[in-house]
Chain A
Amino acid sequence: DQQVKQNSPSLSVQEGRISILNCDYTNSMFDYFLWYKKYPAEGPTFLISISSIKDKNEDGRFTVFLNKSAKHLSLHIVPSQPGDSAVYFCAARGGSDKLIFGTGTRLQVFP
């Protein structure tokens, strides 16, 4: 039972345009959501997070939107840069502070 899903395994975006990565979850008890970026041979790097009591959080080029009624969150990257090319994971915090990860979306930003 996959509680956190990223339905797009890959996304290709032109440099300078907006990248939108999506994530859906099933458990309404999740209280905190995070996005991580992962390069090969490295651990995940934290990008941005959002509490379940908010619907938007912004940090530089990164904005996360949360729609609780739809159990959906998205990460917007604008403008996209070639260095953003990586695998992006969304994660949700459940009981006992555990993070449950989505399946990941591979983003490729081309010139």
Chain B
Amino acid sequence: ELKVEQNPLFLSMQEGKNYTIYCNYSTTSDRLYWYRQDPGKSLESLFVLLSNGAVKQEGRLMASLDTKARLSTLHITAAVHDLSATYFCAVARRETSGSRLTFGEGTQLTVNP
């Protein structure tokens, strides 16, 4: 059974600081997704990482994937209040149907002024 673990689950940080959210998964996969969810809202796709060593950046967020370590990171640079949200990673099983995602528990990020 594929397990996806995120840490930390709760993160409170000050504006302007940097931090990293980690996502570990238990079985082989070559696709990893990061989503953002604001309170009471739906999930918004942030990044899709498709291969070992993949790195993607959008604004103050940068995601990377190490398939050998089964680890993805979401790095936040110079955080701003607008980044406050819950961030989920999700891993696709390597199976013939190719579509099933298993989500981590989510990291609730609060950026304080």
Do A and B belong to a common assembly?
no
* A residues adjacent to B (C-beta < 8 A): none
* B residues adjacent to A (C-beta < 8 A): none
